[in-house]
Amino acid sequence: MLIVTGGAGFIGSGLVWQLNQEGIDDILIVDNLASSEKWKNLVGLNFSDYVHKSDFLRLLDSGALGEIKAIFHLGACSSTTELDADYLIQNNLEYSKRLAQFALTKGIRFIYASSAATYGDGSRGFKDDENKLTELRPLNMYGYSKHLFDLWLQRNNLLDKVVGLKFFNVFGPNEYHKGEMKSVVCKAYFQIKATGQLKLFKSYHPAYGHGEQKRDFVYVKDCTQIMTWFWQHPEINGIFNLGTGKARTWNDLAKAVFAAMNLPVNIQYVEMPDNLKGKYQYFTQADMNKFFSVYPDYEFCSLEQGVRDYVLNYLEQKDPYLGN
């Protein structure tokens, strides 16, 4: 059996879909559905069981779950605006430590989600160099909680026994429940559908024109393929960036959405809220050299390809979920 924590979430449900594409359905999903719409991400997917995250560690320790081949630990509080530091430490650090200790003690493949938020403002670069982990300075408590787990693994000499993935700007199906944390691709589609126009923040940096701020956008289907590849290659371990290695502008993204919707480009540049101006990142780009050193032949889909697939095959459909 495979275990996917956060399996009802955006990337987690995408991973379950990917495993189903490969004929695998002996999957235990661990999550906390609560009153969210995440349950819709599971409809149409094939898996053996669902367990609430509060019951999972007890069942794991009791041996009730049987033989486990791998644990994909994607469950976390991923809100970059969450201010409850105690909650983030308990949920993102302590829970992860217990799960990693169990997996490593039992010889179970352990693949987990770190985050590009650990890089902070990017002034120290975006290189997944494990020797420079202590130099990183996350800007929010979410990023710091992820960073603390990376550091814990390093201090305990465990990074060469697990895979940690630092996801950059992921977009794609099954993110609909995420509210303000949805990707700009998703938000743009519905904004354009309603108004025929897309609003983007103005730039306040002399090196970047309006809408020319850059991000490393990566399609969720690339992420899920790469996660299954790491599972199938247990000889490869460490922390790896998961972006495309190619920064694109918000204008590029906007044009890709308008093109997929077969509509003329209509962008309005608006003032950025004052509370964001001092924290805004004008450039992110994953250094993918380490990844390509272990998987040199992988080809990421372009921003335009990913947006087109997302818009036409999901957002424009009556039932926009993977697996349906």
DSSP lists the bridge partners of residue 268 as 199
Reported as a single tens digit per residue, the pLDDT across 203-214 is 999 999 999 999
Reported as a single tens digit per residue, the pLDDT across 162-202 is 999 999 999 999 999 998 889 999 999 999 999 999 999 99
Q: Is 111 helix (H, G, I), strand (E, B) or coil?
A: strand
Global pTM? 0.95
Structure-token pair, residue 23: 């004929």
Phi first, then psi, for residue 170 (nearest 5°) are -85, 135
Structure-token pair, residue 158: 């465990």
The yes-or-no verdict on residue 267 having pLDDT over 90 is: yes
Q: How confident is the model at residue 275 (pLDDT cuts 50, 70, 90)?
A: confident
pLDDT of residue 81: 73
DSSP lists the bridge partners of residue 269 as 200
Mean pLDDT, to the nearest integer, of 304-311? Answer: 98
Catalytic position from the list 40, 53, 97, 178: 178
Of 85, 145, 65, the C-alpha closest to 112 is 145
Distance of CA 191 to the CA centre of its chain: 23
Mean pLDDT, to the nearest integer, of 236-263? Answer: 98
Specify whether the backbone of 110 is left (phi greater than 0), alpha (psi in -120 to 50) or beta. beta
Domain residue ranges of the chain, discontinuous segments joined by +: 2-171+217-246+283-302
Q: How many C-beta atoms surround the C-beta of residue 245 within 10 A?
A: 17
Helical residues (DSSP H) of 156-288, grouped into ranges: 184-195, 220-231, 250-260, 274-277
Structure-token pair, residue 14: 């995408």
Amino acid letter, 125: G
Of 59, 54, 57, 43, the C-alpha closest to 8 is 43
∠ CA(133), CA(135), CA(136), 5° rounding?
75
| Residue carrying structure tokens 């992988």 | 298
How distant, in Å, are the alpha carbons of 70, 135, 289 from that of 238?
Answer: 16, 17, 13
| Residues 240 and 30: beta-carbon distance below 8 Å | no
Per DSSP, the residues of 119-172 read: GTTSTT-----GGGGGG---SSHHHHHHHHHHHHHHHTT-GGGSEEEEE-EEE-
In the residue annotation, 50 being an active-site residue is answered as no
Q: How far apart are CA 123 and CA 192, in angstroms?
A: 34
In the residue annotation, 176 being an active-site residue is answered as no
Average pLDDT, the chain: 94
Long-range contacts of 128-136 (CB under 8 A, 24+ apart): 128/166, 128/238, 128/239, 128/240, 128/241, 128/286, 128/287, 128/290, 128/291, 129/290, 130/154, 130/159, 130/238, 130/239, 133/239
Mean pLDDT, to the nearest integer, of 59-78? Answer: 91
Q: Is 248 helix (H, G, I), strand (E, B) or coil?
A: strand
Which CATH code for domain 2-171+217-246+283-302?
3.40.50.720
pLDDT of residue 26: 97
Q: How far apart are CA 48 and CA 67, in angstroms?
A: 13
Amino acid letter, 12: G
DSSP lists the bridge partners of residue 57 as none
Of 324, 246, 255, the C-alpha closest to 283 is 246
Catalytic position from the list 142, 144, 189, 310: 142
Express as a percent the part of the chain with pLDDT over 70: 100
